[in-house]
Amino acid sequence: MRPKTPRRSHFKIVFKRIGFGLKLRHKKICREWIAADFIILFRLTSPV
């Protein structure tokens, strides 16, 4: 389930989602979103 998008656009999407989640102020949803996004970023940035 890896998105075939450039890293820069993915970073923008991730930061927008994190910012949107923080605006909502739902801690549980925020943590889930941020955790999922960081896992995706880690997989994209890690040399496999």
Tens of pLDDT, residue by residue, the chain (48 residues) = 565 655 677 777 777 777 776 666 666 666 777 788 788 888 877 766
pLDDT for res 9: 75
Classify residue 22: in a domain, yes or no: yes
pLDDT for res 14: 75
Which structural domain, as residue segments, surrounds residue 22? 8-45
Q: Are 10 and 3 in contact (CB under 8 A)?
A: yes
Q: Are 29 and 17 in contact (CB under 8 A)?
A: no
Q: What is the C-alpha separation between 1 and 40, in angstroms, rounded? A: 10
The pair of three-digit structure tokens given for residue 41, joined into one six-digit string: 């970023």
Classify residue 19: in a domain, yes or no: yes
Give the number of domains in the chain: 1
pLDDT for res 12: 79
pLDDT for res 10: 72
Classify residue 2: in a domain, yes or no: no
Q: The pTM is what?
A: 0.34
pLDDT for res 2: 60
CA atoms in the 13 A half-sphere facing the CB of 46:
7
